[in-house]
């Protein structure tokens, strides 16, 4: 599996990121549920950061949890929204794991972690969000 990300838009302090999961194997696989996002600050997991699965400003209609079958070279999608006032921010990392293997970090992205921040992630879907 590989995961790529791209900006998905922003509005009033809410930034959306679109993620594409690609099956790089020669056999089909399945995914179901929510990716695991963990904030890493100073080399430690920030256990105080909660993650919402509900709607958000840039994700008004998140997809339901469903089984997604990925054929070889097939794609699945999910979205993340970070809402913040962008005050008191420090450098951090976000570790990303898929629900099929939460112990395996598939992406680590540099970011900023702010004191007043909410994080929303959607379930994995078989179709990109419009």
Question: Measured at the alpha carbon of residue 54, what is the angle toward residues 52 and 58, in degrees to the nearest 5?
Answer: 100
Give residue 117's pLDDT band: very low, low, confident or very high (50, 70, 90): confident
pTM of this prediction? 0.84
Report the topology of domain 2-121.
Immunoglobulin-like (2.60.40)
CA angle, 93 as apex, 90 and 94 as ends, to 5°? 125
Mind listing the pLDDT tens digit for each residue in 8-65? 777 777 888 888 999 999 999 999 999 988 777 777 777 667 788 988 888 899 999 9
The mean per-residue pLDDT over the stretch 69-97 comes to 85
| Residue 103, pLDDT score | 73
């Amino acid at each position: 599996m590989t995961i790529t990300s791209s900006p998905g838009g922003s509005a009033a302090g809410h930034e959306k990121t679109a993620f594409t999961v690609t099956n790089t194997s020669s056999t089909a696989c399945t995914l179901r549920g929510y990716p695991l996002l963990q904030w890493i600050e100073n080399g430690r997991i920030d256990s105080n950061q909660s993650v919402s699965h509900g709607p958000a400003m840039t994700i008004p209609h998140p997809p339901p949890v469903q089984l997604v079958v990925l054929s070889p070279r097939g794609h699945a999608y999910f979205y993340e929204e970070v809402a913040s006032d962008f005050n008191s921010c420090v450098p951090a990392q976000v570790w990303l794991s898929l629900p099929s293997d939460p112990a395996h970090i598939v992406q680590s992205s540099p970011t900023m972690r702010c004191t007043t921040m909410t994080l929303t992630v959607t379930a994995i879907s078989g179709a990109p969000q419009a």
